[in-house]
Amino acid sequence: MFEHIPAYPGDPILSLNEDFQLDPRPNKVNLSIGIYFDDAGKLPVMDAVRRAESALLDAIGPRSYLPMSGLPLYRETAQALVFGANSEARAAGRIATLQTIGGSGALKVGADFLRRYFPASQIWISDPSWENHRVVFEGAGLTVNTYPYYDEETGGLRFADMIDMIGRLPERSIVLLHACCHNPTGVDLSTAQWAELVPVLQRRRLIAFVDMAYQGFGAGLEEDAACVRMLADADIPLITANSFSKNFSLYGERCGALSVVCKDAGEASRVLGQLMSTVRANYSNPPTHGARLVANVLSDTSLRASWEAELATMRERILAMRGMIHAGLAGRVDEVMRARYVAQRGMFTYTGLNESQVERLRNEHAVYVLRSGRMCVAGLNARNADYVASSIAAVVSGA
């Protein structure tokens, strides 16, 4: 019966991470998947999360189903984090927010919703974008196109080309934007560029779908969400997908949220209802544990302060690692290639390494980056940065 089923070629990120786990070489370095490791190379359990978890275990109780929309305190605190505690749209009750199974779950629920209620609309994602964006949106039945984004020559942004193309899209098209720490390139729009994009989205009557998986890893929690607030204030039809995988180091708990900013509270309530029906059709309701942890940290003054401080330390460590590999590559690769490590922001740098260099890095040096050349700089530490720099220098020089 199943003879015709072809083999799965694997996922460019998750399958590579699984290959890394099986690699027996003791000197292996994982710079493939977007996971933050600390300076000891360990996946951190944040102190605030540990404390919230101990308190939860002490008060362990019965575990019924959550509502289809998720845990109310989680939805409330997630919404405030994304849109700002004093957001006008929040005060007016016109944002529909629901708990999702990670950021990917938010994208999928949002994609299903758009496919159902905007069947003629297509989506445009950046070229390049997170490898799974195309998979999720095509999986929901949407046609996926790209807009110009990354400039391979300079390691920067093709902003003029990007805005020109977005300015010519059909009305009601969906534009997928990265709030901060662009995945995979680490190249973001400046505040001035966001301000230039907003009237274009408005004039073309486009729907902005903002993916914010790295809030707090760019310039700070508030700064990284500034574009979301700018779009909400401009009354652009706006959908956001956010994730707590990275900024809470809670990858496996799958904590995300989807928000839709509506015209008024009545519209938000109808939209929320339809999002709930999408959830029911997929997985009924989300899980409890991670949502309780996040909600309890975000709503408790002391835990929240501790979380924010630890997140700032993680952000600063990433910057230090960028500086370290930049220094390690001095005189060993050309300056355009080297400058990217300090010019780009967040967890990722687009190294400019080609496929055969990436392959040599893995085969000969046990250093894993994605086939596209994306490196997760959050996997570097004081012990491996020099080794990674030497390995890159070797494959670039062809030695």
Whole-number Å distance between alpha carbons of 74 and 287: 12
- The string of DSSP letters for 352-372 reads ---HHHHHHHHHHH-EE--TT
* 19 catalytically annotated: no
Instruction: Indicate whether 13 belongs to the interface with ligand LMR (CB under 6 A).
Output: yes
Q: Which of 33, 206, 262, 324 is close enough to bind ligand LMR by CB under 6 A?
A: 33
Window 121 to 180, contacts with ligand LMR (CB under 6 A): 130, 132
Q: Compute the least distance from the CB of residue 347 to ligand LMR, in Å.
A: 8
Is 194 a catalytic site residue?
no
Helix, strand, coil shares, percent, the chain, to 5? 50, 15, 40
In this complex, which beta carbon is closest to ligand LMR, that of residue 34 or of residue 290?
A: 34
Residue 351 sits in the site that holds ligand LMR (CB under 6 A): no
Q: How far is the CB of 117 from ligand LMR (least distance, A)?
A: 27
Cβ nearer to ligand LMR, comparing 132 with 173 = 132
Q: How far out from the chain centre does Cα 26 lie?
A: 30
Write b or e for each residue in 7-45: b if 16 or more Cβ atoms lie within 10 A of its Cβ, otherwise e.
Answer: eeeeeebeebbeebeeeeeeeebbbbbbbbbeeeeeebe
Is 211 in the active site? yes
**Nearest Cα to 374, choosing from 343, 396, 341?**
341
Q: Which of 108, 188, 246, 307 is catalytic?
A: 246
Beta carbon nearer to ligand LMR, 183 or 349? 183
Residue 74 CB, nearest approach to ligand LMR (Å):
21
**Per CB under 6 A, 100 contacts ligand LMR:** no
373 binds ligand LMR (CB under 6 A): no
Strand pairing partners for 368? 30
Dist CA 211 CA 34 (whole Å): 15
Size of the site for ligand LMR (CB under 6 A): 6
Q: What is the distance between the alpha carbons of residues 313 and 316, in angstroms, rounded to a whole number?
A: 5
**Contact status, residue 87 vs residue 232, Cβ threshold 8 Å:** yes
CA–CA separation, 199 and 205 (whole Å)? 10
Nearest distance from C-beta of residue 124 to ligand LMR, angstroms = 20
143, burial (CB in 10 Å: exposed 0-12, middle 13-18, buried 19+): exposed
Which residue, 32 or 77, is less far from ligand LMR as judged by CB? Answer: 32
Q: How far is the CB of 375 from ligand LMR (least distance, A)?
A: 11
Q: Is 68 in the site for ligand LMR (CB under 6 A)?
A: no
Encoded one letter per residue, x for contact with ligand LMR by CB under 6 A and - for no contact, window 180-209 reads: ---x--------------------------
Q: By three-state DSSP, how is residue 279 classified?
A: helix
Toward ligand LMR, which CB reaches closer, 157 or 213? 213
Amino acid letter, 144: V
- In whole angstroms, the minimum distance from the beta carbon of 35 to ligand LMR comes to 7
Beta strand 144-148 pairing with 207-212: unpaired
Query: 329 to each of 12, 172, 274, 397, how far by Cα in Å?
Result: 26, 46, 52, 12
DSSP H helical ranges for the chain = 14-22, 47-58, 72-83, 88-91, 102-117, 131-139, 159-166, 191-203, 221-224, 226-233, 265-282, 289-299, 301-328, 335-343, 355-365, 385-397
Check residue 105 for interaction with ligand LMR (CB under 6 A).
no
249 binds ligand LMR (CB under 6 A): no
In angstroms, give the least distance from the CB of 206 to ligand LMR: 25
Quick one: which of 16, 34, 185, 388 contacts ligand LMR (CB under 6 A)?
34
Least CB distance from residue 270 to ligand LMR, whole Å? 31
Could you say whether residue 16 binds ligand LMR (CB under 6 A)? no
| Residue 34 vs 84, nearer CB to ligand LMR | 34
| Residue 212 lies near ligand LMR (rule: CB under 6 A) | no
Marked catalytic residue, from 130, 188, 224, 307: 130
Residue nearest to ligand LMR (CB): 34
Q: Which two tokens stand for residue 285?
A: 């309701």
User: In the complex, which residues of this chain contact ligand LMR (CB under 6 A)?
Assistant: 13, 33-34, 130, 132, 183
Query: Could you give the residue numbers annotated as active site?
Result: 130, 211, 246
